[in-house]
């Protein structure tokens, strides 16, 4: 027995096991070469594998086809009259307009086997080289290996996209209150310190983003009675309705948060005390002016509800941090409660 036949017997089962069960007719290969004889030959070598093979006679046609068909694998000649294979490779692998192309496996065809050509090709993003004249067995094996990698990269990219979308959803959920869809306490904890920082002069431009930040602490009056008299489900409906009215009556640049159970915060930039009191009045009246309609299965109610509001204003002179600003608004709100509720008090600046 000759050495070559022994080797073949050993290799054959391995080759069989590595031939992945691709849906070959779904796999797209693009051959780009200005030499029509070579294109024809490459297609002939690949035809037993059953891939969908397209061809292009120069770099520009090749590029148009690449963007159109998004091939899984590209076999491209190095030396072409219009665009070189290396330049085309760079376009495919580092193109922010077509990020999906990065997973296309790129094989550069070259007559050069010297190392400096390979370095250039690798730096341009090439995944593999084939030296002319092409050996059909090597071509088919390299294409199979390339397609395995390209498919794996594609499925990783898809999984990554799904994870990113999921993370975005989780991030937005973690900052939103489930009952009211308002921003939650955590969003306030993260956002308010940053907003307060914007009162300090920007060191590079010397400009302040905001002159002041107005914080309103809003608490529903005698809310426990709503629960006690009508049950917690009705209480929840009242909280939701009030959240909607707060959102609608505040300013477009206001941020409304659910701070706790029946307490809300409304944060608005650039309101002086007079403007803050004016806005608080609009918000307060949006609750007290008309009853809240409850329509919950067999429960129909019109509930008169009011809120009390405490205002505190931070500016660059009073140097307020999150904690002291909330504390001041809280004191002001309790003053409003003690004065009879359904009113606004403002903390002295």
Q: Which does 291 bind (CB under 5 to 8 A by kind): Mg ion, ligand GH3, none?
A: none
Q: Residue 156: CB partners within 8 Å, gap ≥ 6?
A: none
Shortest Cβ 250–ligand GH3 spacing (Å): 20
Catalytic residue among 262, 263, 281, 304: 262
What does the block give as tokens for 204?
């590079």
CB of 310 to ligand GH3, least distance (A): 12
Sign of CA dihedral 113, 119, 120, 125: positive
Q: Which of residues 43-62 bind ligand GH3 (CB under 6 A)?
A: none
User: Contacting ligand GH3 (CB under 6 A), which of 51, 78, 105, 223?
Assistant: 223
What is the gyration radius of the CA atoms in the chain, in angstroms?
34
Q: Does 70 bind ligand GH3 (CB under 6 A)?
A: no
| Nearer to ligand GH3 (CB atom), residue 103 or residue 242 | 242
Residue 287 sits in the site that holds ligand GH3 (CB under 6 A): no
Pick the closer one to ligand GH3 by CB: 112 or 337.
337
Asked if 219 touches Mg ion (CB under 5 A), the answer is: yes
Q: What is the spatial distance between Cα 170 and Cα 172, in angstroms, rounded to a whole number?
A: 5
Residue 223, interface with Mg ion (CB under 5 A)? Answer: yes
Q: How far apart are CA 76 and CA 101, in angstroms?
A: 15
Report the SS3 class of residue 157. helix
User: Which range in 8-16, 83-91, 108-116, 223-231 contacts ligand GH3 by CB under 6 A?
Assistant: 223-231
Nearer to ligand GH3 among residue 52 and residue 230 (C-beta): 230
Residue reference for tokens 């067999």 = 298
Which stretch of DSSP H or E encloses residue 131? strand 128-131
Q: How far is CA 222 from CA 36, 164, 307, in A?
A: 86, 44, 9
The reply on whether position 330 binds ligand GH3 by CB under 6 A is no
Q: Shortest gap between Cβ of 310 and Mg ion (angstroms)?
A: 11
Tokens of 109: 């065809």
Out of 56, 195, 220, 345, the residue judged to bind ligand GH3 by CB under 6 A: 220
Question: In the complex with ligand GH3, which residue's Cβ is closer, 126 or 217?
Answer: 217
CA end-to-end span of the chain? 100
337 binds ligand GH3 (CB under 6 A): yes
**Residue list 239-268, contact with ligand GH3 (CB under 6 A):** 239, 261-262
- The answer to whether 339 contacts ligand GH3 (rule: CB under 6 A) is no
Q: Does 235 bind ligand GH3 (CB under 6 A)?
A: yes
Residue 211 phi/psi, 5-degree rounding, is -80, -35
Residue ranges of E strands in 297-343: 299-303, 307-315
CB of 73 or CB of 234, closer to ligand GH3: 234
Structure tokens at 164: 């990113």
Instruction: Provide the Cα torsion 124, 127, 131, 134; round to 10°.
Output: -140
Containing H/E element for 248?
helix 232-249
- 193: partner contacted, choices ligand GH3, Mg ion, none (Cβ within 5-8 A by kind): none
Active site residue 263: no
- The reply on whether position 259 binds Mg ion by CB under 5 A is no
Largest distance between two CA atoms of the chain? 107
What is residue 198's three-state secondary structure?
coil
For ligand GH3, the closer of residues 34 and 263 by Cβ is 263
- Give CA 106 to chain center in angstroms: 29
Catalytically active residues are 262
**Residues engaged in binding ligand GH3 (CB under 6 A):** 219-224, 227, 232, 235-236, 239, 261-262, 337, 341
**Residues engaged in binding Mg ion (CB under 5 A):** 219-220, 223, 262-263
């Amino acid at each position: 027995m000759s050495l070559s036949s022994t080797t073949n017997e050993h290799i054959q089962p391995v080759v069989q096991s590595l031939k992945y069960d691709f849906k070959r007719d779904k796999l797209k290969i693009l051959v780009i070469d200005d030499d029509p004889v070579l294109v024809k030959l490459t297609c002939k070598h690949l035809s037993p594998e059953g891939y969908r093979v397209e061809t292009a006679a120069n770099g520009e046609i090749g590029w148009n086809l690449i963007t159109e068909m998004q091939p899984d694998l590209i076999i491209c000649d190095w030396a072409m009259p219009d665009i070189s294979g290396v330049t085309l490779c760079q376009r495919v692998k580092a193109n922010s307009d077509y990020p999906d192309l990065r997973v296309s496996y790129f094989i550069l065809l070259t007559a050069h086997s010297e190392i400096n050509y390979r370095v250039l090709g690798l730096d341009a993003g090439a995944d593999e080289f084939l030296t002319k004249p092409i050996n059909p067995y090597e071509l088919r094996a390299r294409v199979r290996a390339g397609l395995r990698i390209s498919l794996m990269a594609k499925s990783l990219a898809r999984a990554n996209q799904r994870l990113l979308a999921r993370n975005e959803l989780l991030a937005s959920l973690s900052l939103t209150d489930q009952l009211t869809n308002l921003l939650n306490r955590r969003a306030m904890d993260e956002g308010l310190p940053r907003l307060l920082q914007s009162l300090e002069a920007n060191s590079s431009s010397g400009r302040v983003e905001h002159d002041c930040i107005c914080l309103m602490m809003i608490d529903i009056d005698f809310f426990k009675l709503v629960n006690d008299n009508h049950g917690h489900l009705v209480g929840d409906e009242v909280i939701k309705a009030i959240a909607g009215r707060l959102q609608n009556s505040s300013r477009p640049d206001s941020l409304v948060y659910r701070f706790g159970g029946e307490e809300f915060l409304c944060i608005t930039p650039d309101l002086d005390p007079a403007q803050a009191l004016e806005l608080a009045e609009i918000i307060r009246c949006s609750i007290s002016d008309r009853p809240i309609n409850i329509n919950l299965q067999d429960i129909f109610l019109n509930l008169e509800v009011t809120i009390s509001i405490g205002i505190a204003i931070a500016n660059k002179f009073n140097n307020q941090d999150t904690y002291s600003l909330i504390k001041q608004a809280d004191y002001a709100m309790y003053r409003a409660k003690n004065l009879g509720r359904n009113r606004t008090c403002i903390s002295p600046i």
